[in-house]
Amino acid sequence: MITFERECRTPHSETYVIWEDGSIVGRIDLHYQGETVHGTLCTTADANEGRIQSLIEEIDGRLVMTALPMREDFVVSVWRGSPGGTFSDADALGDEDEEGVPL
């Protein structure tokens, strides 16, 4: 089963991590502009067209339509690949992760 974990939300956008069976299978950034929703879907390199379409349908039905049910269009750009990490300003300050490893 696909689940969504919200990472952040602003007045006009949302970001979610996409989980399936305990594994991350992607992330979606949604941007609301009037009655159009723009999304950037990042998924695993092995995701085929059917898998991508299935993810888009889940995102549309469970996230987009609940936030903007009368939307005119849902435009999605898709990226396939592997996670490259998460970076922040804290990295430059020499912060460490939970295990004491420099970030």
- pLDDT, tens digit, 9 for 90 and up, residues 48-71: 999 999 999 999 999 999 998 899
The CATH fold assigned to 2-81 is Aminopeptidase (3.40.630)
Q: Is the pLDDT of residue 1 over 70?
A: yes
What do you get for the CA distance between the two ends of the chain, in Å? 32
Cβ partners under 8 Å of residue 47, min gap 6: 25, 26, 55, 80
pLDDT in tens, 34-46: 999 999 999 999 9
The full set of domain ranges for the chain reads 2-81
Categorise residue 59: left if φ over 0, alpha if ψ from -120 to 50, beta otherwise: alpha
Give every strand in the sheet of 13-20, ordered side by side.
2-10, 13-20, 23-33, 36-44, 73-81
- pLDDT band for 90, please (50, 70, 90 cuts): confident
